[in-house]
Amino acid sequence: MPPGPPRRIRDERFSVLAGVALAGFLLVVLGLLRLQVVQREELSRLAEQNRIRLDVLRAPRGAIRDRHGRLLADNQPSFDIVFRPMPAESLSRSRTLIPTDWLLRISSLVQDDTTVIKRRVQEANRTGQTAVLRRNAPYSVMAAVEEMRADLSGVDVQVAPIRRYPEGTLGAQLLGYAGEINDVELEKRADAGYRMGDLIGKTGVERRYEEMLRGRDGAEFVVVNAMGKRVSTLSEGPPRPPIPGHDVTLTIDLDIQRALEEGMAGVEHGAAVVMDPRDGSVLAMVSKPVYDPNEFSRGITYARWRELIASGNPLLNRAIQSAYPPGSTFKIVTMLAGLRNELVKADTHLPTSCSGGYFFGGRRFGCWDKRGHGSLNLLGALQFSCDVYFYQLGLKLGLDRLQAVARAVGLGEKTGIDLPGETRGLVPTKEWYERRYKGGMPRGALLNLGIGQGELLCSPLQLALMTSVAANGGRAVRPHVVMKVQGVPEFRIEKPTEPGLDTSPENWTAVHDAMKLVVDAGTATVVRMPGIGVAGKTGTAQNPHGNDHALFVCYAPTDVPTIAIAVVAENSGHGGSVCGPIAAHVLRRVLLGDSLATAPPKRAAKRDSTRAVAADTLEVAGD
């Protein structure tokens, strides 16, 4: 047997091994000291975060009601599929890898594209905020998620309020809709406390009064297990309940809104506004075509979005965002300007009588009635909407005096209504013509302006405002759709800064008498009502892109006006035969009661003649 190593060598080896063991032990001790002493607070916090999670309690938006308290928008519970990042991922959240099989399973469950799910999960990991993967999930999806949640780390089902519009399409563009906040909106409102998945007003009242309708989210601390599943509510810290948003009461009258919707049922594209001429309260507003805002609350697909846009862009509120030539409804302005500047009186006959046209600058300007109206005074010219009379009056006025009166009654500028996206329309000035045309205003422009054609553009809301100012004798009012905000007693609608139109009582009497003649024995006899005076004006505006637009404005009762209406129907023909019955339906429903307005008016058939007289009503379906 060979001799072993010398004792000295064995001692040296033992010393080395003992030193290695001691060094390892010292490293373990130092590690424990580091974990239990140096990093104690940090690790305790992370451990607590693994056990405790902060859950956001979504605040419901305030309800929207009509002037009588009837519900137009509120909330209902929905089930959202959400992803909650684990807090212990700390600073490496943005670099956390998302397993492909996990991503595919989640995308299949919530029925959304993997790129969308991945982006939302990455954003949640980066910010530590809960991400909504699918809003208002059906029961089948919710059940599938609950069944597989043990294998789907971070995925949960959350109850949240969703916007509901019980009247469906009624007043859709006016109310607007609330949808999930997008990246652009989130970046703009980063300092306002918005989070991913929050609802935000997108259009209409929902958008304009977002700050008041939006509530304040609450929060509670909950105990979770290792998989992130909620076990119980933490008893040490009481929850902070959500604070609902303020309820908003509109000036809209649901009965009038329904009547206007019924009247507009046969119009494919157009808009109408009903206003109280005493204070500018909007009683009803309709834009066609319509959409159902509930679709956007539940979540809309891209295909459905494309379908809506292709159907005539129903999201556009044509009552305030579209502009049309006012046609012969503008003759009210021309008449007022002539009276105010003492160029004509109620009984004034102009030199050239109407024989169906007017010659100016080597060109013939036709009247809508090719047979002519003969010699008319100012009241008769408005009653029968004689173009030849207003051609001459436009020339006598000149541009400055005509556009000054147009702006005084609310045309050519935003009305200041409390809705987003309002158009200004256009009342041209000399400076505008100089920018548009090298030689300034064309010679025949005043003739076209005098009858509401040419470059003039007005929204239906502006036409309703013009009619309201005419009805109340020149006093300026500010159109508005919100009456009060619950819990905000200091809420007020700003008074108009414009002075209105100042002219003599005799001039206003002449305008009111002429507009009443339009209804009693002129181009709008279809609007006549027993025992109630109605004053109005028809209009037919030439449209270079298709058939003429039909327009009609009116107010009633004539002795003490409480309602003003403006109706525009695109590509529909004559204002008296198309828009007049719509206004008549609303007036009968509001002023005479349901018994005399049993059915909405039918769309008038297009006729080849420019004048048609019905034996029973003597209706003149002209301008």
Tallying the residues shown for the chain, one arrives at: 623
Q: Cα separation of 473 and 470, whole Å?
A: 5
User: Hunting for tokens 């009509």 — which residue is that?
Assistant: 66
Half-sphere exposure of 142 (CA within 13 A, CB side): 11
Residue 266: half-sphere exposure toward Cβ, Cα within 13 Å: 15
Q: How far apart are the first and last CA of the chain?
A: 131
The H or E element that residue 518 is part of is helix 505-521
Residue from 534, 364, 573, 368 nearest 451 by CA:
368
Beta strands at 248-250 and 549-556: parallel, antiparallel or unpaired: unpaired
Options 328, 459, 468, 577, the catalytic residue: 328
**246: amino acid identity, one letter:** H
User: What's the chain's Rg over C-alpha atoms?
Assistant: 35
Structure tokens at 261: 């919707």
Q: Which two tokens stand for residue 438?
A: 């090298």
Query: Would you call 108 a catalytic residue per the annotation?
Result: no
In sequence order, the 6+-apart residues with CB closer than 8 A to the CB of 498 are 408, 410, 476
Closest by alpha carbon to 427, among 445, 442, 441, 407? Answer: 407
- For residue 601, whether the previous peptide bond is cis, meaning omega lies within 30 degrees of 0, is no
The half-sphere exposure of 533 on its side-chain side, counting CA atoms within 13 A, is: 13
Cα distances (angstroms) measured from residue 599 to each of 13, 265, 400, 596: 110, 11, 46, 9
Q: Which residues belong to the active site?
A: 328
